[in-house]
Structure 1
Amino acid sequence: MVDKNAVRRGYDALAEAYAADRNEDGRGREVLSRFLDGVSESARVLDAGCGQGTPVLRDLSESAAAVGTDVSRSQLELADERVPAASLAQGDMAALPFRDESFDAVTAYHSLIHAPREQHQEVADEFARVLVDAGRLLCSEGPDEWSGTNPNWLDTGVEMQWHIAGAEATREHLRTAGFVIEREWGVDDSLAEGDDASWTFFAARLEG
């Protein structure tokens, strides 16, 4: 089971190493560009699990009013430096620190996988809660269920933990939360150098 405190401590400890490993190109970013084509400049968009802010939060800030949230204070400090136009808040995706219907769209790139498996439905429910009616969501998940721990992630000596729910379970979580899935992409791109992980991206809209 994922220990969220271990995830927070891990990202605090390896913030610089993780930022250096991040790849700003790839198909995941192309998916984001397509998603943003349908988002107006006046829209308020949340990046849930924004990390150090690049490239997702930065791209959002160039197209809309962007807000980033992350469990890691160190990651948010880097995001503040790299994406000064965005507003930032520390918080847990299973209990987002925002009012109901605060956003027109939400993105969650490779962040669901750090939530405990039993909270994945809660996270989807939180995305729905903070979105306006017909609000849009773009999120990624691994195609198959998997959980694991790496005690030396990125060769830093820092532990990291994951629980991937898998695409089938994520479809059910989104539908239960009130989303209609409009499109899916299979993407061999993790935004990390040297990482050939596969992802399923879901573009969904909240039913009004």
Structure 2
Amino acid sequence: MTHPDTIATYQSVADEYRERHGDRSQIRELAEQFVDALEPVTRGDSAESPRVADVGCGPGWESATFADRGHEVVGVDLTPAFLRTATDRAPDAAFVRMDMRALGLAADAFDGLWACASFLHVPREDAPATLREFRRVLRPGGAMLLSVARGDGEKVGDSYDDDRRRFTLYRADRLRELADDAGFSVESVSDGDWVQLLARA
């Protein structure tokens, strides 16, 4: 998330957001797909745990899932209330308040980058550079999973009282094009209500 109104809204509705979206059953299959995609990156004689960046980690639901799998997880978000909850939920993960457009993370440091319902908060004009930043922190062959709302243009949220969150919507072909242009090799794109893209650095 990037726009101040988006951050302010999430901060003000953090408890309600956790209650509404705490059932992760619809995300579980996507998370499993991502974990499976990490295997070719981490296979070999290395004893290191896979390193995963959860970008736009929110309250840390998937950070906890990945940490429970033995992965080394760094969660990134801009909403303080989410980061506090994430730290409690996934004590074995590290959490940092950071803008995804300028990740203060080392280059070639991660085996996977998970950005579920977060990249859609990046303004459209910043999307290409943000994807290049995602690629920068991934090791060669590292997996990236993006999940964004399907559609055209931009919209302002309407799910909460005084909802001022900003959303950038994508069609599958445009998201694929952006990933290609950022130097990723796209492995799959699904095109339902949400566009889900799996690619490798």
More helix by share: 2
Alignment partners' CA distance in 1, 2:190 and 2:146: 11
SS at match of 1:99: coil
Query: Does 162-171 or 72-81 show the bigger shift?
Result: 162-171
SS at match of 1:153: coil
Q: Which residue, 162, 169, 179 being the options, matches 1:157?
A: 162
Q: Aligned ranges for residues 53-202 of structure 1 at < 5 Å?
A: 53-54=60-61, 56-63=62-69, 64-150=71-157, 153-154=159-160, 156-187=161-192, 198-202=193-197
Identity of aligned residues (%): 28
1:47 corresponds to 2:54: yes
8 Å contact kept, 2:148–2:170:
yes
The one-character-per-residue Cα deviations of 1:49-85 (angstroms, maximum 9, x if unpaired) are 000011x211111121111001111111111111111
Provide TM-score, normalisation by structure 2.
0.88
SS at match of 1:37: helix
1:10 corresponds to 2:9: yes
Q: Give the length in aligned residue pairs.
A: 192
5+ unaligned residues in a row in structure 2: which ranges? 43-47
8 Å contact kept, 1:51–1:76:
yes
SS at match of 1:184: strand
Alignment partners' CA distance in 2, 1:143 and 1:170: 10
Alignment partners' CA distance in 1, 2:28 and 2:37: 15
Provide TM-score, normalisation by structure 1.
0.85
SS at match of 1:182: strand
8 Å contact kept, 1:182–1:204:
yes
5+ unaligned residues in a row in structure 1: which ranges? 188-197
Alignment partners' CA distance in 2, 1:167 and 1:70: 25
Q: Which residue, 168, 180, 203 being the options, matches 2:198?
A: 203
8 Å contact kept, 2:149–2:170:
yes
Which position in structure 1 is the counterpart of 2:34? 35
Q: CA offset at residue 88 of structure 1?
A: 0.5
Which position in structure 1 is the counterpart of 2:45? none
